[in-house]
Amino acid sequence: MIPTTLDLTADPDGIARAADLLRQGLLVAFATETVYGLGGDARNGEAVAEIYEAKGRPSFNPLIAHVASVEAARRFVDWSDHAETLANAFWPGPLTLVLPLRDGHGISPLVTAGLETLAVRVPVHQTARDLLAAFDGPVAAPSANPSGQISPTTADHVRAGLGGRISAILDDGPCGVGLESTIVGLAGEPTLLRPGGIALEDIETALNTRLHLHQVGDHLTAPGQLQSHYAPDAPVRLNAVLKQGEEVLLGFGPVDCDLNLSESGNLIEAAANLFAALHSLNETGRPIAVSPIPDHELGAAINDRLRRAAAPRDS
Protein backbone atom coordinates (compact mmCIF):
# COMPACT_ATOMS: atom_id res chain seq x y z
CA MET A 1 0.00 0.00 0.00
CA ILE A 2 1.31 3.43 -0.92
CA PRO A 3 0.04 6.02 1.59
CA THR A 4 -0.64 8.75 -0.93
CA THR A 5 -1.01 8.58 -4.67
CA LEU A 6 0.27 11.98 -5.85
CA ASP A 7 -1.89 14.04 -8.20
CA LEU A 8 0.43 15.58 -10.78
CA THR A 9 -0.63 18.22 -13.29
CA ALA A 10 0.59 17.89 -16.86
CA ASP A 11 2.86 20.97 -16.69
CA PRO A 12 6.69 20.92 -16.93
CA ASP A 13 7.05 20.45 -13.17
CA GLY A 14 4.54 17.58 -13.04
CA ILE A 15 6.14 15.89 -16.06
CA ALA A 16 9.63 16.20 -14.50
CA ARG A 17 8.41 14.72 -11.21
CA ALA A 18 6.65 11.87 -13.03
CA ALA A 19 9.85 11.08 -14.98
CA ASP A 20 11.84 11.10 -11.70
CA LEU A 21 9.41 8.62 -10.13
CA LEU A 22 9.78 6.33 -13.17
CA ARG A 23 13.58 6.54 -12.82
CA GLN A 24 13.21 5.43 -9.19
CA GLY A 25 11.36 2.33 -10.39
CA LEU A 26 7.97 3.63 -9.19
CA LEU A 27 4.65 3.56 -11.03
CA VAL A 28 2.95 6.56 -12.62
CA ALA A 29 -0.40 6.52 -14.39
CA PHE A 30 -0.48 8.96 -17.31
CA ALA A 31 -2.88 10.25 -19.94
CA THR A 32 -2.60 8.93 -23.50
CA GLU A 33 -4.94 9.51 -26.46
CA THR A 34 -6.49 6.04 -25.96
CA VAL A 35 -6.87 5.35 -22.21
CA TYR A 36 -4.78 6.14 -19.13
CA GLY A 37 -1.69 3.90 -18.93
CA LEU A 38 0.00 2.56 -15.80
CA GLY A 39 3.66 3.24 -16.54
CA GLY A 40 6.85 1.72 -15.19
CA ASP A 41 10.44 1.49 -16.51
CA ALA A 42 10.32 -1.39 -19.03
CA ARG A 43 13.99 -2.25 -18.31
CA ASN A 44 13.46 -2.56 -14.55
CA GLY A 45 12.09 -5.99 -13.60
CA GLU A 46 10.97 -4.86 -10.15
CA ALA A 47 9.03 -1.92 -11.55
CA VAL A 48 7.34 -4.20 -14.10
CA ALA A 49 6.53 -6.75 -11.39
CA GLU A 50 4.87 -3.92 -9.45
CA ILE A 51 2.65 -3.17 -12.47
CA TYR A 52 1.33 -6.74 -12.48
CA GLU A 53 0.91 -6.57 -8.70
CA ALA A 54 -0.96 -3.23 -8.69
CA LYS A 55 -3.37 -4.39 -11.42
CA GLY A 56 -3.75 -7.95 -10.12
CA ARG A 57 -2.87 -8.94 -13.67
CA PRO A 58 -2.17 -12.57 -14.65
CA SER A 59 1.57 -12.68 -15.27
CA PHE A 60 1.17 -14.39 -18.65
CA ASN A 61 -0.43 -11.33 -20.23
CA PRO A 62 2.37 -9.21 -21.78
CA LEU A 63 2.65 -5.41 -21.74
CA ILE A 64 3.11 -2.70 -24.38
CA ALA A 65 6.40 -0.74 -24.36
CA HIS A 66 5.75 2.95 -25.06
CA VAL A 67 8.54 4.88 -26.77
CA ALA A 68 9.01 8.41 -28.08
CA SER A 69 9.81 7.75 -31.73
CA VAL A 70 10.36 5.21 -34.50
CA GLU A 71 14.12 5.46 -33.83
CA ALA A 72 13.52 4.54 -30.19
CA ALA A 73 11.30 1.59 -31.20
CA ARG A 74 13.98 0.27 -33.54
CA ARG A 75 16.40 -0.12 -30.60
CA PHE A 76 14.19 -2.84 -29.16
CA VAL A 77 12.69 -4.72 -32.12
CA ASP A 78 13.67 -6.04 -35.54
CA TRP A 79 12.09 -3.56 -37.94
CA SER A 80 10.43 -4.54 -41.24
CA ASP A 81 8.88 -3.01 -44.36
CA HIS A 82 5.37 -3.56 -43.00
CA ALA A 83 6.41 -1.86 -39.74
CA GLU A 84 7.81 1.08 -41.68
CA THR A 85 4.60 1.45 -43.71
CA LEU A 86 2.33 1.33 -40.66
CA ALA A 87 4.58 3.59 -38.57
CA ASN A 88 4.63 6.16 -41.40
CA ALA A 89 0.86 6.05 -41.69
CA PHE A 90 -0.23 5.91 -38.03
CA TRP A 91 2.59 6.85 -35.62
CA PRO A 92 2.48 8.72 -33.40
CA GLY A 93 -1.01 7.38 -32.64
CA PRO A 94 -3.28 4.61 -31.34
CA LEU A 95 -1.51 1.69 -33.06
CA THR A 96 0.67 -0.98 -31.40
CA LEU A 97 3.02 -3.16 -33.44
CA VAL A 98 4.21 -6.58 -32.25
CA LEU A 99 7.67 -7.36 -33.66
CA PRO A 100 10.54 -9.77 -32.89
CA LEU A 101 12.73 -8.65 -29.99
CA ARG A 102 16.10 -7.40 -31.11
CA ASP A 103 19.38 -8.74 -29.67
CA GLY A 104 20.59 -6.70 -26.71
CA HIS A 105 17.15 -5.08 -26.25
CA GLY A 106 17.46 -4.72 -22.46
CA ILE A 107 13.68 -5.02 -21.91
CA SER A 108 12.66 -6.97 -18.80
CA PRO A 109 11.33 -10.45 -19.73
CA LEU A 110 8.35 -9.69 -17.49
CA VAL A 111 7.19 -7.13 -20.09
CA THR A 112 6.92 -9.77 -22.81
CA ALA A 113 5.86 -12.53 -20.40
CA GLY A 114 8.65 -14.61 -21.89
CA LEU A 115 7.58 -14.19 -25.56
CA GLU A 116 10.17 -13.56 -28.29
CA THR A 117 8.19 -10.56 -29.47
CA LEU A 118 7.59 -7.06 -28.08
CA ALA A 119 4.54 -4.83 -28.47
CA VAL A 120 5.65 -1.22 -29.12
CA ARG A 121 3.66 1.99 -29.46
CA VAL A 122 4.48 5.67 -30.04
CA PRO A 123 1.58 7.65 -28.52
CA VAL A 124 0.48 11.00 -29.95
CA HIS A 125 -0.90 12.56 -26.75
CA GLN A 126 1.27 15.52 -25.75
CA THR A 127 1.53 14.53 -22.08
CA ALA A 128 2.56 10.98 -22.95
CA ARG A 129 5.10 12.36 -25.43
CA ASP A 130 6.50 14.84 -22.91
CA LEU A 131 6.79 12.12 -20.27
CA LEU A 132 8.58 9.74 -22.67
CA ALA A 133 10.95 12.54 -23.70
CA ALA A 134 11.71 13.50 -20.09
CA PHE A 135 12.19 9.87 -19.03
CA ASP A 136 14.18 9.04 -22.17
CA GLY A 137 13.52 5.29 -22.06
CA PRO A 138 10.85 2.64 -22.77
CA VAL A 139 7.78 2.76 -20.51
CA ALA A 140 5.78 -0.44 -20.03
CA ALA A 141 2.14 0.59 -19.63
CA PRO A 142 -1.03 -1.46 -19.58
CA SER A 143 -4.32 0.34 -19.16
CA ALA A 144 -4.43 1.80 -15.62
CA ASN A 145 -7.32 -0.29 -14.24
CA PRO A 146 -7.52 -3.34 -12.00
CA SER A 147 -7.24 -6.40 -14.26
CA GLY A 148 -10.54 -7.36 -15.91
CA GLN A 149 -12.35 -4.12 -15.04
CA ILE A 150 -13.42 -1.16 -17.19
CA SER A 151 -10.53 0.80 -18.73
CA PRO A 152 -9.90 4.35 -17.42
CA THR A 153 -10.41 7.42 -19.57
CA THR A 154 -10.09 10.00 -16.77
CA ALA A 155 -7.75 10.47 -13.79
CA ASP A 156 -10.77 9.91 -11.50
CA HIS A 157 -11.29 6.44 -13.00
CA VAL A 158 -7.62 5.67 -12.28
CA ARG A 159 -7.84 6.93 -8.71
CA ALA A 160 -11.00 4.90 -8.05
CA GLY A 161 -9.34 1.70 -9.30
CA LEU A 162 -5.69 2.05 -8.28
CA GLY A 163 -5.48 4.88 -5.70
CA GLY A 164 -3.14 3.82 -2.88
CA ARG A 165 -1.44 1.23 -5.10
CA ILE A 166 0.61 3.51 -7.37
CA SER A 167 2.89 6.49 -6.77
CA ALA A 168 1.26 9.15 -8.94
CA ILE A 169 -1.34 10.05 -11.55
CA LEU A 170 -0.34 12.50 -14.28
CA ASP A 171 -3.73 14.06 -15.02
CA ASP A 172 -4.49 15.60 -18.39
CA GLY A 173 -8.26 15.38 -18.61
CA PRO A 174 -10.34 12.85 -20.55
CA CYS A 175 -8.75 10.71 -23.27
CA GLY A 176 -9.74 11.72 -26.82
CA VAL A 177 -9.95 8.32 -28.57
CA GLY A 178 -11.34 6.42 -25.60
CA LEU A 179 -10.51 2.90 -26.85
CA GLU A 180 -7.18 1.12 -26.54
CA SER A 181 -4.78 1.01 -29.46
CA THR A 182 -5.25 -1.40 -32.35
CA ILE A 183 -2.63 -4.18 -32.07
CA VAL A 184 -1.12 -5.60 -35.26
CA GLY A 185 1.21 -8.61 -35.12
CA LEU A 186 4.09 -8.35 -37.60
CA ALA A 187 6.30 -11.20 -36.40
CA GLY A 188 4.73 -13.40 -39.10
CA GLU A 189 1.90 -12.66 -41.53
CA PRO A 190 0.29 -9.31 -40.63
CA THR A 191 -2.37 -10.18 -38.05
CA LEU A 192 -5.00 -8.17 -36.19
CA LEU A 193 -4.43 -9.06 -32.51
CA ARG A 194 -6.87 -6.49 -31.08
CA PRO A 195 -9.25 -4.07 -32.79
CA GLY A 196 -8.87 -0.54 -31.40
CA GLY A 197 -8.43 3.16 -32.07
CA ILE A 198 -7.31 2.77 -35.71
CA ALA A 199 -9.89 1.03 -37.90
CA LEU A 200 -8.94 -2.30 -39.48
CA GLU A 201 -10.06 -0.94 -42.85
CA ASP A 202 -7.49 1.88 -42.65
CA ILE A 203 -4.67 -0.51 -41.76
CA GLU A 204 -5.54 -2.82 -44.65
CA THR A 205 -5.58 0.17 -47.01
CA ALA A 206 -2.14 1.32 -45.84
CA LEU A 207 -0.63 -2.18 -46.18
CA ASN A 208 -2.60 -2.92 -49.34
CA THR A 209 -3.39 -6.38 -47.99
CA ARG A 210 -5.93 -8.13 -45.78
CA LEU A 211 -4.92 -8.87 -42.19
CA HIS A 212 -5.20 -12.32 -40.65
CA LEU A 213 -7.58 -12.31 -37.73
CA HIS A 214 -6.23 -13.69 -34.48
CA GLN A 215 -8.16 -16.84 -33.55
CA VAL A 216 -9.22 -17.33 -29.96
CA GLY A 217 -7.42 -20.49 -28.84
CA ASP A 218 -4.20 -19.77 -30.76
CA HIS A 219 -1.24 -20.32 -28.45
CA LEU A 220 -0.31 -16.63 -28.20
CA THR A 221 -1.84 -14.85 -25.27
CA ALA A 222 -3.56 -11.79 -26.66
CA PRO A 223 -6.36 -9.80 -25.08
CA GLY A 224 -8.92 -11.60 -27.27
CA GLN A 225 -8.39 -14.72 -25.23
CA LEU A 226 -9.47 -13.17 -21.98
CA GLN A 227 -13.17 -13.58 -22.58
CA SER A 228 -14.46 -11.53 -19.67
CA HIS A 229 -12.83 -8.12 -19.60
CA TYR A 230 -13.83 -4.48 -19.30
CA ALA A 231 -16.50 -5.81 -16.99
CA PRO A 232 -18.87 -3.66 -14.93
CA ASP A 233 -20.25 -5.23 -11.74
CA ALA A 234 -23.74 -5.69 -13.16
CA PRO A 235 -24.71 -7.91 -16.12
CA VAL A 236 -24.52 -6.39 -19.61
CA ARG A 237 -27.00 -7.25 -22.42
CA LEU A 238 -26.12 -6.34 -26.01
CA ASN A 239 -28.22 -5.41 -29.07
CA ALA A 240 -31.05 -4.27 -26.83
CA VAL A 241 -33.90 -2.34 -28.41
CA LEU A 242 -35.99 -1.90 -25.27
CA LYS A 243 -35.15 -1.95 -21.57
CA GLN A 244 -36.21 -4.98 -19.53
CA GLY A 245 -36.86 -4.99 -15.77
CA GLU A 246 -34.43 -2.83 -13.81
CA GLU A 247 -32.08 -2.21 -16.72
CA VAL A 248 -30.52 1.11 -17.66
CA LEU A 249 -30.13 1.57 -21.43
CA LEU A 250 -26.88 2.76 -23.00
CA GLY A 251 -28.05 4.11 -26.35
CA PHE A 252 -26.52 4.77 -29.74
CA GLY A 253 -28.23 6.99 -32.31
CA PRO A 254 -31.69 8.59 -31.91
CA VAL A 255 -33.09 6.34 -29.17
CA ASP A 256 -34.82 6.94 -25.85
CA CYS A 257 -32.22 5.88 -23.30
CA ASP A 258 -30.51 6.67 -19.97
CA LEU A 259 -27.17 7.65 -21.51
CA ASN A 260 -26.29 8.02 -25.19
CA LEU A 261 -22.89 7.13 -26.69
CA SER A 262 -23.66 9.35 -29.69
CA GLU A 263 -27.08 10.75 -30.50
CA SER A 264 -26.00 11.43 -34.07
CA GLY A 265 -24.73 7.85 -34.47
CA ASN A 266 -21.08 8.92 -34.79
CA LEU A 267 -18.73 5.99 -34.06
CA ILE A 268 -15.74 8.17 -33.16
CA GLU A 269 -17.79 10.05 -30.59
CA ALA A 270 -19.22 6.76 -29.28
CA ALA A 271 -15.72 5.29 -28.85
CA ALA A 272 -14.59 8.33 -26.90
CA ASN A 273 -17.61 8.04 -24.58
CA LEU A 274 -17.72 4.25 -24.14
CA PHE A 275 -15.67 3.58 -21.00
CA ALA A 276 -16.83 6.70 -19.13
CA ALA A 277 -20.43 5.66 -19.88
CA LEU A 278 -19.82 2.13 -18.54
CA HIS A 279 -18.15 3.56 -15.41
CA SER A 280 -21.08 5.88 -14.83
CA LEU A 281 -23.86 3.31 -15.48
CA ASN A 282 -21.95 0.85 -13.29
CA GLU A 283 -22.48 3.26 -10.40
CA THR A 284 -26.26 2.89 -10.71
CA GLY A 285 -25.84 -0.76 -9.63
CA ARG A 286 -28.47 -1.77 -12.22
CA PRO A 287 -28.09 -4.21 -15.14
CA ILE A 288 -26.94 -2.49 -18.34
CA ALA A 289 -28.60 -2.93 -21.74
CA VAL A 290 -26.82 -1.56 -24.83
CA SER A 291 -28.29 -0.50 -28.20
CA PRO A 292 -27.00 -2.22 -31.37
CA ILE A 293 -23.80 -0.62 -32.72
CA PRO A 294 -22.80 -0.96 -36.39
CA ASP A 295 -19.85 -3.35 -36.74
CA HIS A 296 -17.61 -1.37 -39.10
CA GLU A 297 -14.78 1.14 -38.57
CA LEU A 298 -14.46 1.95 -34.83
CA GLY A 299 -17.74 0.10 -34.26
CA ALA A 300 -15.81 -3.18 -34.57
CA ALA A 301 -13.58 -2.20 -31.62
CA ILE A 302 -16.55 -0.87 -29.61
CA ASN A 303 -18.41 -4.17 -30.13
CA ASP A 304 -15.27 -6.13 -29.20
CA ARG A 305 -15.12 -4.33 -25.84
CA LEU A 306 -18.88 -4.67 -25.28
CA ARG A 307 -18.85 -8.42 -26.01
CA ARG A 308 -16.17 -8.85 -23.35
CA ALA A 309 -18.07 -6.63 -20.90
CA ALA A 310 -21.10 -8.91 -21.47
CA ALA A 311 -19.17 -12.22 -21.38
CA PRO A 312 -19.80 -14.75 -18.58
CA ARG A 313 -17.62 -13.97 -15.55
CA ASP A 314 -15.28 -16.45 -13.90
CA SER A 315 -16.56 -15.65 -10.47
Which one of 45-53, 142-150, 152-160, 301-309 is the stretch in contact with Mg ion (CB under 5 A)? 142-150
Identify residues 193-232 at the interface with ligand TXA (CB under 6 A): 193, 220-223
64 binds, among ligand TXA, Mg ion, none (CB under 5 to 8 A by kind): ligand TXA
62 binds, among ligand TXA, Mg ion, none (CB under 5 to 8 A by kind): ligand TXA
Which one of 178-186, 243-251, 264-272, 294-302 is the stretch in contact with ligand TXA (CB under 6 A)? 178-186
Which one of 16-24, 141-149, 292-300, 301-309 is the stretch in contact with Mg ion (CB under 5 A)? 141-149
Q: What is the CA radius of gyration of the chain?
A: 19
149 interacts with Mg ion by CB under 5 A? no
Among 119, 139, 250, 277, binds ligand TXA (CB under 6 A): 119
The neighbouring-strand residues paired with 121 are 66, 96
Instruction: Report the C-alpha gap between 242 and 299 in whole angstroms.
Output: 20
Instruction: Report the C-alpha gap between 217 and 308 in whole angstroms.
Output: 16
Interface size with Mg ion, residues (CB under 5 A): 1
> Which is nearer to ligand TXA, 60 or 205 (by Cβ)?
60
How many residues are there in the chain? Answer: 315
Which one of 14-22, 58-66, 100-108, 136-144 is the stretch in contact with Mg ion (CB under 5 A)? 136-144
Nearest position to Mg ion, beta carbon: 143
Burial letters for 233-248: b for 16+ Cβ neighbours within 10 Å, e otherwise?
Answer: eeebebebeebeeebb
41 binds, among ligand TXA, Mg ion, none (CB under 5 to 8 A by kind): none
143 interacts with Mg ion by CB under 5 A? yes
Q: Are strands 248-251 and 288-290 parallel, antiparallel or unpaired?
A: parallel
96 interacts with Mg ion by CB under 5 A? no
Residue 32: which of 156, 149, 128 has the closest Cα? 128
User: Would you tell me which residues interact with Mg ion (CB under 5 A)?
Assistant: 143
User: Would you tell me which residues interact with ligand TXA (CB under 6 A)?
Assistant: 32, 34-35, 37, 61-64, 94, 96, 98, 112, 115, 117-119, 121, 141-143, 180-181, 183, 193, 220-223
